[in-house]
Each structure stands twice: as C-alpha cells, then as structure tokens.
Amino acid sequence: LPYQSSTNAIIKKTAHKTHKTTSNINRFEHMKNYSTLLSKVHNFLKPSGKLFVHIFTHKEYAYNFEDGWMAENFFTGGTMPSDDLLLYFAENFGVVNHWRVNGSNYEKTSNGWLNYLDDSWKKGLLQPVLAEAYGKDKEKEWYVNWRLFFLACAELFGYAGGEEWIVSHYLFERR
C-alpha cells in the first residue's frame, strides 16, 4: 500500500536522534540519489552505528523505472539497482558484509503474498483496506494491480533459477 506517508513520518520522527543501528528493507528501490540518502543515514547513526540494507537488485545491471505499468503504479521514479551499486555511494561507510540471496526465495514470498491477497479478497477483508488507500470504487482495480505486481515479482525473481534478479543484503558500519 502507499508508502510515502510512512517514510516521511519516520524521517520526521527520527531526524533529530541518533541510533546505534538502523535497517532499510525494500525502500531504497524507490530512491535515486544514493549519495545524499546514505549521507543522511550516516548522520542518523551514532559513531559506532551500523546500517543493514535489504534491497531487490539485478545481479549486474542497474536501471530506472521510467515508464510502463510497474513504474506508474509501484516504483515511480525508482531504480532497480545492480548488486554492487550501493557500494559506489557508501563513502561514509565501511562494508562489514555483503550477501547475495537467490531470487527464488523472493519468488516463493511473492507467491505467498499473492495467495494471501486472494484469500483476503475472497473473504471480503481486503476491499475496505484498498478503498481507504486508493479511494472508493478503486478496490477491484487495485486488487488486480497488486495481483499483477506479485505475479510479475514471482516470475522476475524466479527467472533463471533465481540467479538473475536477487535480493542483496549489506551490513555497513559508520566511518
């Protein structure tokens, strides 16, 4: 569901504080200026602070979501980073570890979310949530959009045995 308001709320709530650890799960794909982003995260951290990032990546190539259905509905202005892209912008961080997780795990996750979505729709639990998020009379449209999203993700991350699109994990420490 829409993520902008929750992201802004977190930034406003924590901007004046420093933290020992922070994590980012599935948000960096919606960003562009990684240098500025990582600099701001660096400022949120205490001197010994660490940052854990979980991000969808392509094993080799980065590309922008500029047009098309996925860009218009889910990743407006976002980027599919390559596995090594963040490493080029982490000048304020040391890399403690970097893991590459086979995409077939996310394929299974996407299929699980698709099943949960369908079950919730059949039980009538999803319609009020979608109406609140996207507006009355948009429930079916967004149910279909979310179905397509999960189907597309499952196919993408399952492609080539899960070795093409992967999930990258990074553990950075503040310098």
- Condensed to tens digits (0 to 9), the pLDDT of residues 79-132 reads 889 999 999 999 999 999 999 999 999 999 999 999 999 999 999 999 999 999
Q: Output the pLDDT for position 66.
A: 82
Amino acid at 136: K
CATH topology of domain 4-174: Rossmann fold (3.40.50)
Cβ–Cβ < 8 Å for 54, 86: no
Beta strands in 88-164 (DSSP E): 93-101
Q: Output the pLDDT for position 44.
A: 84
Domain range annotation of the chain: 4-174
Structure tokens at 153: 């993700």
- For residue 54, pLDDT over 80 is answered with yes
**Lowest-confidence region among 9-13, 128-132, 166-170:** 9-13
- For residue 6, pLDDT over 80 is answered with no
Distance CA 84, CA 62 (A): 9
- For residue 154, pLDDT over 80 is answered with yes
- For residue 1, pLDDT over 90 is answered with no
Tell me the average pLDDT across 126-148.
97
